[in-house]
Structure 1
Amino acid sequence: MSTHRKDFVINGKYRIMFGGRKEFTICYNESKPISNTFWQSTNPVMNKLPIFLTQLSLLIAITRIFMIILRPLRQPRFLSELLAGILLGPSVLGNLGWVANHITPFEASLFLETMANLGVTFYMFLVGLEMDITPIQKMGKTAFSVAIAGIIFPLIAGVGLHATILEHQTSVRAPEMGAYFWSIALSLTSFPDLARALSDHKLMYTELGKTALTAAAVCDLSCWSLLVVAVCIISGRKELHIAIPVMVCMASLWFVLRPFIRKIAKKISQRSKDAPIPDNHIYFILSLVLLSGFITELCGAHSMFGAFMLGLMIPGGKLGASIKEKVEEFIVGILLPPTFLIIGARTNFVFIFADVSIGMVLLVILLASLAKIVSTLLVCLYFKCPMWDSLALGVLMNTKGVLALIVLNEGRNMQGFDQQTFTWIMAAILLMTIITGPIVSWTHNSARHLRPYYHRNLERSKPDAPLRVLVCIHSTKNLPGLISLLQNSNATRNSPITVFAAHLVELTRASAMLIFHDKNKTVDTKINTTREKVEAEQIFSAFESFEKDNPAAAVQPLTAVSPYATMHEDVNNFALDKFASIILISYHKRPDGVGGWTDENIEHKQVNQNLLATSSCSIGLLVDRGLMGVSESQKDMQECHVAMFFIEGPDDREALAYAWRMGGNPRLILTLVRFILGKDVSELGEGVEEDDHEILTTIFEREKQKQLDDDYVNEFRFRTMHDQSIAYVEELVNSSDEIISTINTAYSDFNLYVVGRGHGKACPLTVGLSNWSDSPELGPLGEALVSLDFESPPSVLVVQQSAHLSTGSSKHNLLDTIQKMYE
């Protein structure tokens, strides 16, 4: 074994022999006893496997601890895994003798790298399987410009920064190679990690999220193409023609093998319509992952490129979802962690400032972290995008994740940079990851972001103004009632309706994918099961038919995939993004046909309650009992009779605003019934002590709301006084029992009741109804109407104004006070 210098150091069982240009050779003794097996030696896997299992167990345990610590700071799992690898590396614990000898010994690195390469190969298969390149074909000008700028400027920055490094480090053996990997790593946007970040920050279904995902797909594909060329050229000693076999291999896989694979996948899905995909099909595809990696290795590239191409070629749908469900947790949780341990072993923050000034190192790290943020920000500002959205998009496009580590690790394998420069870029990756969560949370802070949208409701808009409605559908069972309600909402050319139909799907796996529908093409979705895909197609078709039957209505379908616990946040963000004035949702129970109810899904009830508690715009909750929809074009349909019951408060005014709009439909008869407090109820306020400040405040608030009620009802009467299809009736009542009795006697033959929820408002007429409540989301009167025994049970629409206008602890105190007054 020859070296440039004849000196060496003995460190325990290792002999470290130094060479020139920062090179050294490590030698160690390893006994290989003769065995009686066929191979005449011990199995090397059995020798290194216990160490590997120990490393893997520790890494997973430390990762979980970091995840618990960093979860309140909204940091991704990637950061916890990276910190766990660095903690076990020479930067921290790796310097301890016992850890270095028993946990991370040098002789176990070869087996660890082998397992890491296997994990990277399968992980890249999952990345290709998850990536959908369809949006690239119809990407907008902004997304395309962001993608191009996010590639070109970081490439230039990477070359410039690496050239700056060379001025301070002249001993790198192949200096030009490091510039390739620095540039590609800075240009890359990790698509899977970006999708998870958008899902965590509830930006998945906004224009910002769609732009980020589309631009990220372009960046990823471009950077992987550049990486293939770079690896081939470096492996072939800078001879460009060496890359030709790899390019031919990739083209053959895409244009020859891809149609064949898609045809087979289609047949597999058709044969397994109502049954799970057979395991042998999945195992066959996993074998193809290894085969495709072997082929690309033969051509001179890493096996991960072939696996990525194979995943990209498999179409989305039931087959892709089944593969992910089978292997995703094992690949991400078991096979991939060794990569973080390798990264940690190659990162050493102890010598990060060795022979270089601190200012120089910090400047390089800072510029590397800001290159993509600044380029994206400038492009967005050029297109006159909002400042906060531009900054958030720049930070999100700077999401690196596992893919950047794979690029840098490949560069380190090819000796593109030494440990010190590798540590510099790893510090930049850490900085990029740490700042993403706080900056995006700050730029899209809910309270500040919703402030200009705080008072958006129907009461403050004109009755004939354009209406923007967000309709939430859990399943096809919700379709008939909601579409009938929209048909009754009187869409005309002077007052059109824009409907955003959101199919809400429960998220059952770690990564969420945004699903947009193209009206001019067949729906192509990546939903978890065939049943959900069929439901999405049926929902899309139903709203498409509604749009055709109503020329003044425009529909934009959307599928939102989210956990039930946070589904309301996605709905609220989408309502904000689309400037919706009202959100229409369905009651979680359905009539069973014999006068009772059946629970559809208790999770749907929780989603409805969360929406009612947090929404910044109005909410309409429909209890559908066979509501029929009528429109001007349906002359042969019988008229729909609607009764709006008005008591008092902002929710009732909001309900009247929606009913007012419905009243313009020539095929609909609207009756406004206002319940007036009788003398017996009014006199209950007498005798209140003047020093009782809380009760006096309650009375003052009620008088103020009563004046607003009178003004709004009078305006309604004045503007509809010549409309023969609209009637106004006043009913004098003294209690909630009289309200129910009056409805049973005179208003029992209607198709639809419209009422306000009355949430947070104390009303003496509903105190008796609110004492018992099984469905608080319906409000006192709404729940009473649903429970009444009618011969032909009508549907009920319960309307609530903005949650921010009707909630608060003080108002709950007022409710308690008013109840005490009338006990």
Structure 2
Amino acid sequence: MHHPIFFLSLLSHNIVIFLFFFSHFSPSTPAMDEGPAVKIFNATEIHIFGDNLFVCQIPNKVFSTSSIWFGDNPLTYSAPLIMFQVSIASITLRTTAFLLKPLGQPTIVSHIIGGIILGPSILGRSEIVKKNLFPPTGIMVLDTVGWFGLMFFMFLAGVKMDPSMIRHTGRKAMTLGLSVFFLPLVVAISMAFILGRYVPMETGLKNSLPYVAASQSITAFPVISGLLAELKILNTDIGRLAMYSSLYGDLIGICATAVSFVIQKQHGDQVLPAIWETLTSITMVVFIIFIVRPAMLWVIKQTPEGKSVQELHIFAIFVAVLVAGLVSEIIGQHMVLGPLVLGLAVPDGPPLGAALVERLDTVMSEFLLPIFFVVSGLKTNLSSVQPKASWVLALVVISSSLVKIAAVMLPSLFCKIPKQHALILGIIFNAKGIIEITIYNLWKDGKVKLPPPPFSFLFSFIFHLLRPLSYANYQQILNEQVFTLAIISVVIVMGIVTPLLKTLYDPSQKYRPTNRRTIQQNNCDGELRILVCVNGQDSVPTIINLLEFSHATQQSPISLLVLNLVELVGRACPILEPHEEAHAIQSHISSKSDQIVNAFKQYELHSQGNVMVHPFTVISHFFTMDEDVCRVAFDNEVIIMILPFHKRWTVAGSVWTPNTGLKTMNRKVLDKAPCSVGILVDRRILGGLTAAELLLDPVLSYRVAILFMGGSDDGEALAYSARMARCRTVILTVINFLPAKRNNNHDNINEADKNKSVLEDFMLNSAGNDRIEYREEVVRDGEELVTVIRGMVHHGYDLVIVGRHQHKDSTLLSGLKEWSECPELGVIGDMLASQDLEATFSVLVIQQHRLRVVKRGFKLINRSMANRPTTTVQKDNNNNNNVVQTDNNVAQDVQPELNQV
């Protein structure tokens, strides 16, 4: 089977040959022998007639028939040339990204700069590079591949977008979307016309300035979501508000594009073709919505839950993308319109949307899309830029950026958005990316027909639908100089926006309470607020067992927040909602999630009012999910959160493939948690009693061991085990490890005194409880400690509790830190969770909450937290029901302002 590049190259060359013969024999075209210039590049003839360039190549020059050992040059053939081009481009872009990473630059900046390096501005100035690496025919093939990649990118962008989310946004997102769209548009267009009238400039710059000015009003959803994902702030209040506001901007742009199209066709001389183009375009959209989308929904219904979509269905959709692009071209649209609409019609999320994203995302982001940036860089020529034009365009870009910030600051006065939040949002809305690059390429290549002057600014919306095009009377909107300046403006703006956001906005700062939230300091007879995170059904029984033995009573009830963790796949917008609302928004939430919630609801009913369950669902990427976890814990004053360990055991004692995303989330939560944290290592499947078994047989007991070596984490673990010891079915064993030789320095003496005080308080509060056993183990070093812990395997414990960190100078841990594989569990916790231990008991590793110093200075976001609206769960003492109370009446307004419990 031939390589796909073969077909691309063959198609490109056939088109070139056709253009050559058409231009040669057409009466309206000068004869070829009258051409003023003929150049030869790698068996390619370049004919120049005025402003027109005709590229002609000998056919069947795809693969080399010989080799370099016979004097043949492989770069004269299309397939070897594009392989070499892609290889050089990949190396250049990767190197550029590596060099710019310490400066905090985003991927798009490195891609554009890499393309400029390969272009006529730097390496392209060399005749050797120009003739061998990027000859005209080679650029044509590369350009074809780049636009092919852009077509699939637009399809993928449509798959990730969820237009229905607009129904769930509120007035803040709508107000910001309208303001950020119209105010910069009016100001930029006005400034462009004023500069064009009163500032002397060349004709090309004067004619294109309104278009470049109008493009500054673009706030594209794919660009905003990509930036937020790269900065890992998708899950923050600001991130959600920015994304939903950009959705409104996209919707307005689509409507404006339709108006522009109708007006243009009304001014055209040929009314009937315009009507046919309109009708066929509407027909294509209707066909996709009412025929193709129901077919996709049928595919989803035919796919069993938890299973992957059949490869045949995936292949059919990929073919449909190509057909949609072809139909778009046939009816007069640009080729990306059909794939974009088709992507919007794909049901987002698993199983179909997730499968498409999984198969396309890496190829798009790492291969096809960078080629498009390289082609853009090859069109960028810094030597064509004149200083006066630079200052004129810089004035337009800078003023538009400031107006965008003002367009957010003004509505913030009426929407009760803190000024610091508004400033951050204004900076985010100034982001530019692939959509702007696409529009500039279309204008540079002359792939649009100019509308009447009063409506020229509407071309800034072409990226939304890539409006219907008439392939007659093409005009180039951007010349080489203006195109170069427009591309450079994208690089400069993104080069400033991204580091500025990293400097000004640190979302982790807001999850730092002023008081400690620990079990030790919590009132023993007061309410205990626990947050449990669940990722799958397997760990639910163990979590419920742990909660059942945590001794919930009428005097000391448990307020339980259940956070169902669902990985975000196949969509761009994360969700954090109460489970019922999340299910209404995202119908693809599986029945397994419902089963998880039902299990905790049954536990609530069984507790006879001593436990109140509040289920939530978070759909997000694991590398940003820590924001949601910490947010819910902070807003609801949680005392301790229980996280699932990233490893799961099988019945045979082996370990399933670890969930690396969950491991990353756990580590981030431990670093920024606003309360104490416990990581639960679930080995229930290997043995151990359940709460139901204990209820059926009162003789049985749930055996718990607490390993105490000293330190705040061990103190917190001891406090939690003391609460469990109040349960009549729990037998608690406290094992106090003491060093054989004590270091008598001042710090160790103080630490020993604190540990002794904690143990004395525990024994005093537990006096009279005959289900508590206390013993001491004297060990000399880490080796003896390991021996004692291995001996615990045969004591029949169901749960072992340990602190994450012990005293840093403890001689008990000597030689053990170097062998730790899971630092999130600590040295002892890692040892207890090791597969080599061959234990059947579960492990709970606890880290006590510590107050951290709040950084000030440039982290503007810290100062506005007092104004954040919250939604918290309170208990109505009159009827024992849960009441959701919202302050400021704004938390219900937008998802971003959200959905704490």
Q: TM-score range by the shorter chain?
A: 0.7 to 0.9
Say yes or no: does 1:288 pair with 2:285: no
Q: CA, structure 1 residues 30+754, in 2 after alignment: closer, same or farther (shift >3 Å)? A: closer
Q: After superposition, where does 1:787-798 map in structure 2 within 5 Å?
A: 795-798=842-845
| Pairwise CA distance, 1:83 | 1.6
Say yes or no: does 1:801 pair with 2:848: yes
Tell whether the 8 Å contact from 2:600 to 2:613 is kept in structure 1 after alignment.
no
Say yes or no: does 1:155 pair with 2:185: yes
Aligned to 1:263: 294
Aligned to 2:439: 407
Aligned to 1:561: 621
Q: Which of 530, 533, 541 is the matching residue for 1:472?
A: 533
Say yes or no: does 1:443 pair with 2:504: yes
The CA distance in 1 between the partners of 2:717 and 2:640, in whole Å, is: 11
Q: Which secondary structure state, in structure 2, belongs to the residue aligned with residue 598 of structure 1?
A: coil
The CA distance in 2 between the partners of 1:267 and 1:559, in whole Å, is: 24
The CA distance in 1 between the partners of 2:118 and 2:659, in whole Å, is: 42
Tell whether the 8 Å contact from 2:713 to 2:846 is kept in structure 1 after alignment.
yes
Tell whether the 8 Å contact from 2:562 to 2:613 is kept in structure 1 after alignment.
no
Q: After superposition, where does 1:670-709 map in structure 2 within 5 Å?
A: 685=742, 695-704=745-754, 706-707=756-757
Q: Which secondary structure state, in structure 1, belongs to the residue aligned with residue 654 of structure 2?
A: strand
- The C-alpha deviation readout for 1:406-444, integer Å capped at 9, x for no partner, is 223233323334333333332332123223332232234
Q: Which secondary structure state, in structure 2, belongs to the residue aligned with residue 442 of structure 1?
A: helix
| Pairwise CA distance, 1:392 | 3.5
Q: Which of 380, 389, 396 is the matching residue for 2:428?
A: 396
Say yes or no: does 1:652 pair with 2:714: yes
Aligned to 1:584: 642
Please, which moves more after superposition, 73-82 or 447-456?
A: 447-456
Aligned to 2:559: 497
Aligned to 1:820: none
Q: After superposition, where does 1:356-367 map in structure 2 within 5 Å?
A: 356=389, 359-367=391-399
The CA distance in 1 between the partners of 2:277 and 2:267, in whole Å, is: 15
- The C-alpha deviation readout for 1:610-631, integer Å capped at 9, x for no partner, is 468635442213344356458x
Q: After superposition, where does 1:279-678 map in structure 2 within 5 Å?
A: 279-316=311-348, 317-356=350-389, 359-380=391-412, 382-386=414-418, 388-412=420-444, 413=446, 414=448, 415-445=476-506, 452=513, 455-463=516-524, 468-489=529-550, 490=552, 497-503=559-565, 505=567, 514-516=574-576, 519-520=579-580, 523=583, 535-536=592-593, 538-543=595-600, 552-562=612-622, 580-587=638-645, 597-603=653-659, 607=664, 610=667, 614-616=671-673, 617-624=675-682, 625=684, 626=688, 628=690, 645=706, 647=708, 648-659=710-721
Q: Which secondary structure state, in structure 1, belongs to the residue aligned with residue 621 of structure 2?
A: strand
- The C-alpha deviation readout for 1:76-134, integer Å capped at 9, x for no partner, is 33222222222233333334444444444456665555444433322211111121223
| Pairwise CA distance, 1:318 | 2.3
- The C-alpha deviation readout for 1:158-177, integer Å capped at 9, x for no partner, is 32343244233665479777
Q: Which secondary structure state, in structure 1, belongs to the residue aligned with residue 714 of structure 2?
A: helix
Q: CA, structure 1 residues 776+322, in 2 after alignment: closer, same or farther (shift >3 Å)? A: closer
Aligned to 2:214: 183
Letter in 1 for 2:714: D
- The C-alpha deviation readout for 1:217-255, integer Å capped at 9, x for no partner, is 333343344345546755775799887766655654555
- The C-alpha deviation readout for 1:180-211, integer Å capped at 9, x for no partner, is 564355322242x4434333333233333333
Q: CA, structure 1 residues 570+137, in 2 after alignment: closer, same or farther (shift >3 Å)? A: closer
Letter in 2 for 1:340: F
The CA distance in 2 between the partners of 1:749 and 1:420, in whole Å, is: 78
The CA distance in 1 between the partners of 2:59 and 2:822, in whole Å, is: 75
Q: Which secondary structure state, in structure 1, belongs to the residue aligned with residue 111 of structure 2?
A: helix
Please, which moves more after superposition, 114-123 or 329-338?
A: 329-338
- The C-alpha deviation readout for 1:491-544, integer Å capped at 9, x for no partner, is 879866252514264x899x86635566336848999xx9x9565454455456
Which runs of 5 or more structure 1 residues have no equivalent in the other structure? 18-23, 36-44, 689-694, 806-823
The CA distance in 2 between the partners of 1:51 and 1:774, in whole Å, is: 47
Please, which moves more after superposition, 330-339 or 736-745?
A: 736-745
Letter in 2 for 1:557: T
The CA distance in 2 between the partners of 1:281 and 1:533, in whole Å, is: 21
The CA distance in 2 between the partners of 1:169 and 1:104, in whole Å, is: 37
Aligned to 1:213: 243
Tell whether the 8 Å contact from 2:630 to 2:672 is kept in structure 1 after alignment.
yes
Tell whether the 8 Å contact from 2:409 to 2:423 is kept in structure 1 after alignment.
yes
Tell whether the 8 Å contact from 2:701 to 2:731 is kept in structure 1 after alignment.
no
The CA distance in 2 between the partners of 1:112 and 1:744, in whole Å, is: 66
Tell whether the 8 Å contact from 1:292 to 1:310 is kept in structure 2 after alignment.
yes
Say yes or no: does 1:735 pair with 2:782: no
The CA distance in 2 between the partners of 1:774 and 1:410, in whole Å, is: 53
Q: CA, structure 1 residues 291+278, in 2 after alignment: closer, same or farther (shift >3 Å)? A: same
The CA distance in 2 between the partners of 1:337 and 1:773, in whole Å, is: 40
The CA distance in 2 between the partners of 1:231 and 1:408, in whole Å, is: 19
Which runs of 5 or more structure 2 residues have no equivalent in the other structure? 1-27, 41-45, 62-74, 449-475, 853-901
The CA distance in 1 between the partners of 2:526 and 2:279, in whole Å, is: 59
Fraction of identical pairs, as percent:
24
RMSD: 5.3
| Pairwise CA distance, 1:652 | 3.0
Q: Which of 110, 124, 129 is the matching residue for 1:94?
A: 124
Q: What TM-score, normalized by structure 2, do the two folds share?
A: 0.69
Letter in 2 for 1:403: I
Aligned to 2:112: 82
Letter in 2 for 1:797: L
Q: Which secondary structure state, in structure 1, belongs to the residue aligned with residue 336 of structure 2?
A: helix
Say yes or no: does 1:25 pair with 2:51: yes
| Pairwise CA distance, 1:478 | 1.3
Say yes or no: does 1:759 pair with 2:797: no
Aligned to 1:819: none
The CA distance in 2 between the partners of 1:768 and 1:347, in whole Å, is: 59
Letter in 1 for 2:536: S
The CA distance in 2 between the partners of 1:288 and 1:778, in whole Å, is: 49
| Pairwise CA distance, 1:266 | 2.9
| Pairwise CA distance, 1:309 | 0.5
Tell whether the 8 Å contact from 1:675 to 1:739 is kept in structure 2 after alignment.
no
Q: CA, structure 1 residues 315+176, in 2 after alignment: closer, same or farther (shift >3 Å)? A: farther
The CA distance in 2 between the partners of 1:114 and 1:768, in whole Å, is: 60
Q: CA, structure 1 residues 96+483, in 2 after alignment: closer, same or farther (shift >3 Å)? A: same
Letter in 1 for 2:491: L
Tell whether the 8 Å contact from 2:221 to 2:243 is kept in structure 1 after alignment.
no
The CA distance in 1 between the partners of 2:703 and 2:532, in whole Å, is: 21
Please, which moves more after superposition, 606-615 or 389-398?
A: 606-615
User: In the comparison of the two structures, how many residue pairs are matched?
Assistant: 752
The CA distance in 2 between the partners of 1:783 and 1:278, in whole Å, is: 40
| Pairwise CA distance, 1:555 | 1.8
